[in-house]
Structure 1
């Protein structure tokens, strides 16, 4: 069959993304990234650090000063903004909001002749607002790759090797095992996910599907990317040796620890088959809980129709209903107050996220609505006074 393809495993999505970034850097000598302003903090932090490093290597002249140092610089009239632009690193990003126009705006940005992107990264569901910004991955992949081809220009030589094409990575972490998703195996898209969230199989296990024919050779690598070096008769790895990469293991590092979570996942999926559980069935159940909540949620208050993040079509809606409260302080106070009444929700910035799964029932919705009445029937929570000398920390 064709080179590459299949699924590769790692301990978390950031490990896999870092290796893919380094593979594109190794192959082309530069990174030209198109992403969004709504990615999870790991990727955003990594790109910020790369940008800071790239700026430190360049003494900009007056013409370059604006793009190099102003992260709000416009992408030459396109629907993107620039984080950094040097010979070795160029990063543009597109706003995830409004979600309903995101696919077309992102494709328009991908067609930029000035961008010439070789690494494109976008979440299926934006983690903070839980808005699905890629309703159909196949349509999105086709439109983005078409746009990227236009961006290369009509006189550009055809790309022969699959690894010469831009890497398109879709982060499905907040959709996997929740939002029904079908991906054509012939699409040139890396689909990234993990087993911790909706799969509920524990930490330290993440995966990425690799497009057919693609064989990444990451700069950031480890011995497990070529396990043959430990086989009998092997001379191991000596200084100056060419690094080889085993098909299906190219993104590996050192000794893996994802075995337990992967084992649980395999058992859970086997049980799903026996019980007739499907992602579509789970999604339908959660959507019925959404309907029960949205039909009766108060008109006003912190958790109400007035603060509700726009509700999307049930076919691709995420499993979390979100409310925008205007500030991170008020959102945090709301989460704390609900927690004291036995309701567990969380917040990302100014957005409170109320999530549902197949373990919830209409009785849980009734309980939530009752608590909302108890907590906010009289007055909304106020942001607590700022404390000097420390910050609360939470998991992503």
Structure 2
């Protein structure tokens, strides 16, 4: 139904079934024109490029993102090339001269998990990770940890990258103790799983980017900063001085909007691509709820067809899925394999059959996108059947 949006990528891979779109999503055709527009604007504005970007392009992108999340403060969104910049900037807002306590899960993406693992080697960092499994009791266990003492930072994903399970971030954020920094990682849910952020926007931080389901490619990540935030992260860049560059001296000032979390020079072509894709989705009538329904329907078609071939590993028994029939799930399905070696072997076999997937340890992931139709799903199951 929506293949027409992705003709260039599809034509480049005519025989491949790409089911790794949670990892490397195909880009809609409009992103190419946007990429070229960035070059043309660079030639047109030259030294005035930054003024154009920050007065026109950044507000446009902020407004589009705010519409998706139902945020009433689009100016509280700041951009960076990757989420790790924001992770470390958030951490650098804490007082490192004292003991720092961090509450998170055992299923956070590497941009956060690697960094806190390294910091936990320092004597003044205490990191508690709540296991996401068994998921039926996850929220109760996380709430119990929140109630134990005080936390400097609480960080968890909306959709867990290694399972596709969806966290009830409203429930946990609203029960979090006041005075603690609460951060939601929306990287694997933004433009995939609907989220009304309006009730959280006054106290919760939100990180996401365009590489996954926003489909604008790498390089355009963003952080939503609650309006009353007054932080002075020691990991800071010259973009935070944009409002008074001509008066910069030895004093380090910080703006009162989201730019207090700004970094430095970046390639804004990614922002052009993100804007183009979000505008195209609007013109096609594709809001997050509709996109999510299309993907859910495709997932159910895939699972129903998969049951008929009775694959020894890729079956419902090994599927990560919530016990609740009404629970939402991310846009990829995750299967638990017997071992890391078995998982990697299956990935290789699928790749030989021209089926692109990916894995994390013993978990094999199938991602679903708007460029899949019914025939793609049936062909996928057929190719899996040849491996059994």
Rg bigger for which structure?
1
Displacement of 1:229: 4.7
What are the superposed Cα offsets for residues 259-291 of structure 1, whole Å, 9 maximum, x if unpaired? 111111112222222221111111111111111
Backbone CA RMSD of aligned residues:
2.1
Aligned to 1:182: 196
Answering whether residue 85 of structure 2 is matched by residue 15 of structure 1, we say yes
Aligned to 2:14: none
Aligned to 2:299: 290
Among 268, 279, 284, the alignment partner of 1:270 is 279
**1:13-162 correspondence runs (5 A):** 13-25=83-95, 29-52=98-121, 54-55=122-123, 88-113=124-149, 116-132=150-166, 134-135=167-168, 137-143=169-175, 145=176, 148=177
Between 1 and 2, higher relative CO (CA 8 Å, sep ≥ 6) is seen in 2
Answering whether residue 263 of structure 2 is matched by residue 244 of structure 1, we say no
TM-score, normalization by structure 2: 0.76
Cα pair 1:226 1:246 within 8 Å, conserved: no
Moved more, 286-295 or 186-195: 186-195
Give the count of matched residue pairs: 313
Aligned to 2:263: 253
User: SS of 1:375's equivalent?
Assistant: coil
Cα pair 2:224 2:258 within 8 Å, conserved: no
When residues 15 and 122 of structure 1 are mapped into structure 2, their CA distance, relative to the original with a 3 A threshold, is: same
| Cα separation, 2, equivalents of 1:29 and 1:184 | 33
Moved more, 364-373 or 248-257: 248-257
| Cα separation, 2, equivalents of 1:370 and 1:3 | 48
Cα pair 1:4 1:212 within 8 Å, conserved: no
Cα pair 2:214 2:278 within 8 Å, conserved: no
When residues 313 and 256 of structure 1 are mapped into structure 2, their CA distance, relative to the original with a 3 A threshold, is: farther
TM-score, normalization by structure 1: 0.74
| Cα separation, 2, equivalents of 1:315 and 1:105 | 18
Structure 1 unmatched ranges of 5 or more: 56-87, 150-164, 377-396
| Cα separation, 2, equivalents of 1:225 and 1:45 | 26
Answering whether residue 220 of structure 2 is matched by residue 205 of structure 1, we say yes
Cα pair 2:305 2:378 within 8 Å, conserved: no
Aligned to 1:323: 335
Cα pair 2:181 2:204 within 8 Å, conserved: yes
Aligned to 2:61: none
Higher helix fraction (1 or 2): 2
Displacement of 1:242: 3.8
When residues 364 and 12 of structure 1 are mapped into structure 2, their CA distance, relative to the original with a 3 A threshold, is: same
Cα pair 2:153 2:180 within 8 Å, conserved: yes
Aligned to 1:226: 241
Aligned to 2:316: 305
